[in-house]
């Protein structure tokens, strides 16, 4: 179930630029997960890392302004 929550969040972010912007704010994976948990998503750092690794995405931000490129369209 937790991996499914990671995937649901990544898909939701791919569809909603406001959601993406909100999740670009947290500096760490732990802060990202706390924000996600406050919105009903339930997953761990390890589960987030596993899904990102499988998809070839990286959590770190890049660009100016800094943004994450983890979202699924």
Enclosing H/E stretch for 31: helix 29-38
Taking only Cα atoms into account, the Rg of the chain, rounded to an integer number of angstroms, comes to 11
* pLDDT surpassing 80 at residue 1: no
Q: How far is CA 65 from CA 21, 24, 27, 54, 68, in A?
A: 10, 10, 14, 26, 10
* 69 compared with 73, residue with greater pLDDT: 69
pLDDT band at 53 (very low <50, low <70, confident <90, very high): very high
Handedness of CA 52, 53, 57, 58 (dihedral sign): positive
Residue 38 CB coordination number (10 Å) = 8
pLDDT value of residue 73 = 85
User: Mean per-residue pLDDT for 40-65?
Assistant: 97
User: Mean per-residue pLDDT for 41-46?
Assistant: 97
Q: What percent of the chain has pLDDT over 70?
A: 99
């Amino acid at each position: 179930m937790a991996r499914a929550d990671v995937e649901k969040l990544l898909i939701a972010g791919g569809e909603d630029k406001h959601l993406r912007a909100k999740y670009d704010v947290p500096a760490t994976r732990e802060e990202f997960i706390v924000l996600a948990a406050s919105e009903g998503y339930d997953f761990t750092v390890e589960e987030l890392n596993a899904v990102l690794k499988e998809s070839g995405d990286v959590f770190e931000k890049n660009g100016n302004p800094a943004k994450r490129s983890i979202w699924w369209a």
